[in-house]
Structure 1
């Protein structure tokens, strides 16, 4: 069974520690969570914001493909995203992640998630938290 991590358990810190100081992070899509960032601090800030907006979401790794050598490794993951939103509704989505690693340091991380579902969830979170 693959490990499931939650947005509130701080597991993202492992990814931040693995990142090179000039990591390029992209969360693809025209949503409030969309990002095109450079640097470890900006990478960590994005995860902290994600935790605030979506506390309790669980990410489950369902598939991994790895190729390359230590100086240029590509890792592709498939993730299941689940949880409850602030209004009590269920959230389910799927994401794919493309990571490039050089000598043990993540230099690029690109995430693709169904942006229509994500945008709707973001809107629900805003409405629920505004009351």
Structure 2
């Protein structure tokens, strides 16, 4: 039952992103959560506090205002005090000239007592970097800005098994 609730909550979180309701997503993070995105682009790097995570979602909303996720798989395991979840997705967005883009990837999350303590995002980062470059050429300065937070590796690895 618990894992079904976690999966439902994750589906609802992605639905909030699809509606552009980023404050609802940001509220789900623990105050010292780790938010990390692979690659070398404006959305990459690591954030370790609520202010940086908020700034990242503000940037996401500005850079990709019509971003929509289609969920393929949602998996959760563990206990309420240490849950690991995986969300496999395909996303869709349109640039300022009407060109459509789609990427695929996975979110890996650690959740403790209903708060996200770690989020790691993996996708085709070369594709995402090219989309950011195209958006930058279309005048979206945040699409080519330096990453928010630090560009280095994340603090801790998720547990094996």
Q: Deviations over 1:59-99 (max 9, x none)?
A: 12221010000010001001111021112111100120000
**Larger % of strand: which?**
1
Q: Please give the alpha-carbon distance, in whole angstroms, between the structure 2 residues aligned to 1:5 and 1:53.
A: 18
Secondary structure of 1:129's match?
A: coil
TM-superposed deviation, 1:32 = 1.9
- Please say if residues 18 and 69 of structure 2, whose CA atoms lie closer than 8 Å, have aligned partners that are also in contact: no
Query: Which residue number in structure 2 is paired with residue 116 of structure 1?
Result: 126
Work out whether 1:94 is the aligned partner of 2:104: yes
**Residues 16-55 of structure 1 aligned to structure 2 (within 5 Å):** 16-55=26-65
| Unaligned 5+ runs, structure 1 | none
Aligned residues: 129
Structure 1 segments of 4+ aligned residues over 2 angstroms from their partners: 2-15
**Could you state the TM-score of these two structures normalised by the residue count of structure 2?**
0.73
**Larger % of helix: which?**
2
Secondary structure of 1:56's match?
A: coil
TM-superposed deviation, 1:57 = 1.4
Root-mean-square deviation (CA), in Å? 1.9
Q: Please give the alpha-carbon distance, in whole angstroms, between the structure 2 residues aligned to 1:31 and 1:53.
A: 12
Q: Please give the alpha-carbon distance, in whole angstroms, between the structure 1 residues aligned to 2:126 and 2:69.
A: 18
Q: Deviations over 1:6-38 (max 9, x none)?
A: 757333322211110000000111112102010
Q: Please give the alpha-carbon distance, in whole angstroms, between the structure 1 residues aligned to 2:17 and 2:131.
A: 15
Query: Which residue number in structure 1 is paired with residue 150 of structure 2?
Result: none
**Could you state the TM-score of these two structures normalised by the residue count of structure 1?**
0.89
Secondary structure of 2:97's match?
A: coil
| Unaligned 5+ runs, structure 2 | 1-10, 141-161
